[in-house]
Amino acid sequence: MGEWDELYRENIIDHYKNPRCRGTLDHPDITYEDANPLCGDQLRIDIEVKDGKIEKIRHSGHGCSISQAAASMLCERMEGHPLEEVKALTKEDVLELLGIELGPVRLKCALLILKTLKAGVYGITQWPGEEEETK
């Protein structure tokens, strides 16, 4: 394993053990819950929006280290950013945050937060990246 792989893995474990933006909001403008059909793990997001920006974002639920770390990383990255940016997020953005290669099963774990976020904000309920794969 390369030095970078090791660093990325440590970062994933850190986000899993000390998740950023974890919890729920009392008065969210957007709330959405989704699950990974392969394992049943669930993820919920709550968002407060102000002037078109994500004022606060929180994630809750339960899942494996990859899904939880990806949720922590993506929520931390998006807080304070315009909602419009959510639409533009791709699976590559999430994979870049995680920084390690994933097989198809773990890919669904990693993309659960992105799917939940896009469904909550834009009603896009497709798994990110599947549109290209099924063409």
Catalog residues that contact ligand FES under the rule CB under 6 A. 36, 39, 41, 63-64, 66-67, 109, 112
Cβ-based nearer residue to ligand FES, 14 or 84: 14
Q: How far apart are CA 123 and CA 133, in angstroms?
A: 20
Residue 94 to residue 127: CA distance in whole angstroms = 13
Closer CB to ligand FES, 83 or 100, in the complex: 100
Q: Least separation, in Å, of the C-beta of 110 and ligand FES?
A: 8
Our CA angle for 71, 76, 77, nearest 5°, is 100
127 DSSP 8-state letter: P
**SS3 of 1, please?**
coil
Question: Least distance from C-beta 67 to ligand FES, angstroms?
Answer: 4
Q: Residue 82 or residue 99: which is nearer to ligand FES going by CB?
A: 99
Closest residue to ligand FES, judged by C-beta, is 109
* The pair of three-digit structure tokens given for residue 42, joined into one six-digit string: 């669930």
